[in-house]
Amino acid sequence: MFDIHKIRKDFPILNRIVNGKPLVYFDNGATAQKPQTVIDAITNYYTNQNANIHRGVHTLSREITIVYEEARKTIQAHINAAHANEIIFTRGTTESINLVAYCFGKINVFEGDEILITQMEHHSNIVAWQQLCEEKKAILKYIPINEAGELILEDLPKLITSKTKLVAFTHISNTLGTINPVKEMIKQIRALSCPLSGDGRGAVVLIDGAQAVSHLKPNVQDLDCDFYAFSGHKLFGPTGVGVLYAKEEWLTKFGPYQTGGGTIKTVTMQKTEFADAPLKFEAGTPHIEGGIGLAAAIDYVNSIGFEAIQKHEDTLMNYATQKLSEIEGVRIYGSSKHRTSVLSFNVGSIHPFDIGTLLDKYGIAIRSGHHCTQPICQFYNIPGTIRASFTFYNTVEEIDLFIEALKKSIRLLS
Ligand code: PMP
């Protein structure tokens, strides 16, 4: 049973008063709030379990190593990875993408090769590829979007060539809410592209799952992606921790991303032999409480269930879209049939920052700006948008408060 009142009690921050009003938190796309179980897991680590992992023979170290590796297995099971060693702990989506750009680029991208991304990517999934292409004299191409904020997939056959080495795209757009048809896209990409290094599978695919993981449960084997990147903090877990799922074959081929303690098997003064994945990719002492907190967050969302989460989010999204559309001068960006939990809009020529600042006075936290997707803003020829992003602990009543505050803000600014 989806009990919204019970769920809200699990998130202590939702009791906060902001500027004299109860907090309405609609900035879940930027970062999600944390349930008590996640906070408790982190507190418990520092209160009872703190030690370094993988190094010590003493009890605390052995205990916490087991807990940390169990966290990896929780993530593996959650995204249905074939092996626990395909789960690399990183600092977040951004670092996961950078890791692939560096390690894949080093051995597979050369002058004249092509990388394909999309026009709806977060800067994290643009800049790393731009840098790689610049360094390797490779060519960066993109799949354009249409007015509805959907990818123009009819262009895929002309965008993919015998030179396409890697295709990277977001599962869900953080600005438009569009849910991309990831599985179909991967099938099409594989069919259109040339086998890379003779493995017969076509171009390599990286999915940016930063926005997707709080709304759905990715099944990486079913998707058949090579890489899937996400951040802990958008999945109700801690900041500073994230995941790179990578097919084992890549982790065997890749050299290390960073080097240092933990990544090695043996070191002499002349030479280093590296450990196998995942340790080869986890240099230095990791974000131990981050991994543990992320596993607690995954247990929490699974205790609610993604079917119930999606049903509730659809109700919120439909209600908010309806209410927002009734306001004169509102233009919503993104109208794909397949979208979720993100409403980006502008009101007439009012600057998004002005609305955001006024809404804050009513205790309403939304995001205004370009949301690290400047190419989307350039496409619509706007400086940015106001973005309300919902999750399962939000309510219809909060949307009413938001709509009322928005109307008052518009009156003040008109
Ligand atoms: N990709 C998308 C689609 C995102 O929404 C974000 C965060 N806004 C990122 C990548 C980057 O995530 P992080 O800052 O956690 O690395």
Query: Which stretch of 19-28, 257-266, 279-288, 304-313 has the lowest confidence by average pLDDT?
Result: 257-266
Q: What is the DSSP letter of 327?
A: S
Query: Which stretch of 37-41, 264-268, 397-401 has the lowest confidence by average pLDDT?
Result: 264-268
Q: Which residues contact 283 (CB under 8 A, 6 or more apart)?
A: 256, 257, 258, 259, 260, 261, 262, 263
What is the reported pLDDT for 196? 63
What is the reported pLDDT for 8? 98
Q: Which residue has the tokens 């190094």?
A: 55
Number of Cβ within a 10 Å radius of residue 233 = 25
| DSSP H or E segment with residue 141 | strand 139-143
CA of 88 to the centre of ligand 1 (A): 17
Average pLDDT over all residues of the chain: 96
Report the SS3 class of residue 114: strand
Looking at the predicted structure, is the pLDDT value of residue 195 above 80? no
Distance spanning both ends of the chain, measured CA to CA: 44
What is the reported pLDDT for 197? 43
- Delimiting residues of CATH 3.90.1150.10 domain(s) in the chain: 4-30+305-413
Mean pLDDT confidence for 118-124: 98
Mean pLDDT confidence for 374-382: 97
What is the reported pLDDT for 199? 57
Mutate to test the pocket of ligand 1, among 27, 89, 91, 93 (most ligand atoms within 8 A of CB): 93
Closest CA to 151 of 140, 142, 161, 162: 142
What is the reported pLDDT for 169? 98
Q: List pocket residues of ligand 1, CB cut-off 6 Å.
A: 92-94, 122, 124-125, 170, 174, 208, 210-211, 231, 372
Q: Specify the residue with its C-alpha closest to ligand 1, atom 14.
A: 94
Task: Give tens-digit pLDDT for 131-153.
Answer: 999 999 999 999 999 999 999 99
Q: Could you tell me which residue, 56 or 377, shows the higher pLDDT?
A: 377
Task: Give tens-digit pLDDT for 3-22.
Answer: 999 999 999 999 999 999 99
- Please tell me the distance from the alpha carbon of residue 46 to that of residue 37, in angstroms, as a whole number: 14
3-state helix, strand and coil shares in percent for the chain, rounded to the nearest 5: 45, 20, 35
Task: Give tens-digit pLDDT for 303-328.
Answer: 999 999 999 999 999 999 999 999 99
The whole-model pTM stands at 0.97
Q: Specify the residue with its C-alpha closest to ligand 1, atom 6.
A: 210
Model confidence band, residue 27 (pLDDT cutoffs 50, 70, 90) = very high
What is the reported pLDDT for 200? 60
CA of 122 to the centre of ligand 1 (A): 7
- Please tell me the distance from the alpha carbon of residue 32 to that of residue 392, in angstroms, as a whole number: 10
Model confidence band, residue 125 (pLDDT cutoffs 50, 70, 90) = very high
Topology (CATH level 3) of domain 4-30+305-413: Aspartate Aminotransferase, domain 1 (3.90.1150)
The alpha carbon torsion through 50, 300, 318, 368 (nearest 10 deg) reads 0
The catalytic residue positions are: 372
Give domain 41-302's CATH architecture. 3-Layer(aba) Sandwich (3.40)
Mutate to test the pocket of ligand 1, among 119, 124, 235 (most ligand atoms within 8 A of CB): 124
- Please tell me the distance from the alpha carbon of residue 296 to that of residue 377, in angstroms, as a whole number: 36
Task: Give tens-digit pLDDT for 56-114.
Answer: 899 999 999 999 999 999 999 999 999 999 999 999 999 999 999 999 999 999 999 99
What are the structure tokens assigned to 340, written together?
């979720």
- What does each C-alpha distance from 298 to 19, 204, 307, 333 come to in angstroms? 32, 27, 15, 31
Looking at the CA of residue 233, tell me the nearest atom of ligand 1: 15
The alpha carbon torsion through 280, 286, 287, 291 (nearest 10 deg) reads 50
Looking at the predicted structure, is the pLDDT value of residue 334 above 90? yes
Mutate to test the pocket of ligand 1, among 126, 372, 373 (most ligand atoms within 8 A of CB): 372
Report the SS3 class of residue 200: coil
What is the reported pLDDT for 193? 82
What are the structure tokens assigned to 331, written together?
């233009």
- Please tell me the distance from the alpha carbon of residue 44 to that of residue 148, in angstroms, as a whole number: 46
CA of 232 to the centre of ligand 1 (A): 10
CA of 272 to the centre of ligand 1 (A): 34
Cα torsion angle, 33, 35, 39, 41, sign: negative
Q: Which residues of 156-183 are buried (b: 16+ CB within 10 A; e: fewer)?
A: beebbbebbbbbbbbbbbbbbbbbbebe
Looking at the predicted structure, is the pLDDT value of residue 198 above 50? no
Closest CA to 29 of 297, 341, 304, 385: 341
Model confidence band, residue 261 (pLDDT cutoffs 50, 70, 90) = confident
Closest CA to 210 of 250, 248, 168: 168
Q: Specify the residue with its C-alpha closest to ligand 1, atom 8.
A: 30
CA of 206 to the centre of ligand 1 (A): 14
Looking at the CA of residue 124, tell me the nearest atom of ligand 1: 10
Dihedrals φ, ψ of 160, to 5°?
A: -90, 130
Residues in the chain, total? 414
- Delimiting residues of CATH 3.40.640.10 domain(s) in the chain: 41-302
Share of the chain above pLDDT 70, in %: 98
Beta strands in 11-79 (DSSP E): 17-18, 21-22, 24-25
